[in-house]
Structure 1
Amino acid sequence: MNLKPSFFDRRTNTQRINHDDFLAVESLAMELLKFLPRTQTRPIVFVCIGTDRSTGDSLGPLVGSFLEEKDISSFHVYGTLDEPIHAVNLNERLREITINHQDPYIIGIDACLGRLKNIGVIQVADGPVKPGAGVNKELPAVGDIHITGIVNVSGFMEFFVLQNTRLNLVMKMAKTIANGIYQASILHSRGRLQDLPHEHKKTN
């Protein structure tokens, strides 16, 4: 399975948003915009990792499918329910992205396991996501930044936990993430990055 390890639950440079907060979509959009390159010459690519063969691990492809329905022209999306990106094809799809896009700015999206109190939390952080680490698989790190959603508890029988994660929670989290990305795409395409506080802007 493509899972973030639970240690990201404790990462200090991570912004956390509860998926059911009233302003979750707006907060996620603003956090995402803080990381995006100020120049619009670099293509923005979302790599949504996971598989629909596991409820808990379906977060990524659900986000990808929701984004595909929204037809976001300013961002590029890879990984959907129809064409998931998972352990078997991850290397191939990453090569495809580097061929299709020159110097892409990549955002990895994946499910993860964490502490009980943080189930339902969406995390936005600098640096790549490490798919498969939570279930002891060696896969390439993905992304200049990443978005992860804590779908269940880590620490014991992770594969079984993923299989028994509630679809209702995963669907709600995926919709929040997709809506946040969509809102960020609108602001990004309008060139609103200059409106963000200077201390949060990236200079990529």
Structure 2
Amino acid sequence: MNLINRFVPKNDKLQLLHNDPTLTDAMSERLTSWFPKIPREYVVVCIGTDRSTGDALGPLAGTFLSEKKPKHITIYGTLADPVHAINLKDHIKLINGHHKDAFIIAVDASLGKSTSVGSIISDVGSLRPGAALNKDLPSVGDIHITGVVNISGFMEYSILQNTRLSLVVEMAKSIASTLEKVDLQLAYSKPFPAIVASNQKRKSGVEV
């Protein structure tokens, strides 16, 4: 869970409501526009825990995306195997060891203004998991997606626990659909065969 900085210039940031019919196309195009010109491995790290309704956005998005079986993206962080505050550093070490020079898309829930609740935001740069709860965790991602699940400013932990699950589920589905579209666009970019083969082996449980 991170906290949106209201004073950061928007630059190329894209913010849309989770039920906006243009979200999947617009955000997938924006995300891929930030990808490196030279093909690399692509890793999605969905951060959060299933023990908190509001903070379950990441694991839900990772689960929904995994069910779509992307071919060019490796996923970390699902309901069955979440990436959270306790194991985040271990997962970063694992990713750095298994995916050399990977391009990382971080996904996390966030708190923000009341008018932004329900919005999904994509932006360049890393995010700081746990910032909303004053946790000192390492930054993650070359680019990131955040979903504003509730308001910030007072008793953030309690607010997360009382966030409506229906909203979080719908937002997670929108994020998963966006990343599925990104995966399809990667298919047309013709990534190096070695990268594709490496991802397929990891998904099948073969160590590389």
Normalised to the residue count of structure 2, the TM-score between the two structures is 0.88
Q: CA RMSD in A?
A: 1.5
Give the AA of the match of 2:82. P
Match of 2:28 in 1: 29
Q: Per-residue displacement from partner, 1:121-162 (whole Å, max 9, x unpaired)?
A: 111011101001110000000001110000000001000000
Q: What secondary structure is seen at the aligned counterpart in 1 of 2:83?
A: coil
**Match for residue 108 of structure 2 among 107, 110, 113:** 110
Structure 1 residue 170, shift from structure 2 partner: 0.5
Give the AA of the match of 2:148. I
Mind listing any 5+ residue stretches in structure 2 that lack a counterpart? 192-208
Name the CA distance, whole Å, in 2 between partners of 1:192 and 1:9: 38
Structure 1 residue 37, shift from structure 2 partner: 1.7
Name the CA distance, whole Å, in 1 between partners of 2:189 and 2:93: 29
Q: Which runs of 4+ in 1 moved over 6 A?
A: none
Alignment of structure 1 residues 60-75 onto 2, 5 Å? 60-75=58-73
Q: Per-residue displacement from partner, 1:93-137 (whole Å, max 9, x unpaired)?
A: 110001111101111100000000000111101110100111000
Give the AA of the match of 1:20. N
Query: Is 1:111–1:150's contact at 8 Å kept on the other side of the alignment?
Result: yes
Name the CA distance, whole Å, in 1 between partners of 2:60 and 2:7: 21
Q: Per-residue displacement from partner, 1:48-106 (whole Å, max 9, x unpaired)?
A: 00000000000000111011111111011000000000000000011000111110111
Structure 1 residue 6, shift from structure 2 partner: 2.9
Match of 1:139 in 2: 137
Give the AA of the match of 1:143. G
**Match for residue 57 of structure 2 among 59, 65, 81:** 59
Question: % of aligned pairs identical?
Answer: 44
Match of 2:47 in 1: 49
Name the CA distance, whole Å, in 2 between partners of 1:44 and 1:192: 13
Q: What secondary structure is seen at the aligned counterpart in 2 of 1:7?
A: coil
Alignment of structure 1 residues 181-192 onto 2, 5 Å? 181-191=179-189
Match of 1:196 in 2: none
Match of 2:97 in 1: 99
Structure 1 residue 10, shift from structure 2 partner: 5.3
**Match for residue 80 of structure 1 among 78, 81, 95:** 78
Name the CA distance, whole Å, in 2 between partners of 1:11 and 1:138: 24
Name the CA distance, whole Å, in 1 between partners of 2:95 and 2:158: 32
Q: What secondary structure is seen at the aligned counterpart in 1 of 2:5?
A: helix
Name the CA distance, whole Å, in 2 between partners of 1:113 and 1:192: 37
Q: What secondary structure is seen at the aligned counterpart in 1 of 2:108?
A: strand
Give the AA of the match of 2:32. L
Q: Per-residue displacement from partner, 1:1-48 (whole Å, max 9, x unpaired)?
A: xx11131585423211111111111112111111112222x1010010
Give the AA of the match of 1:22. P
Match of 2:170 in 1: 172
Aligned residues: 190
Normalised to the residue count of structure 1, the TM-score between the two structures is 0.89
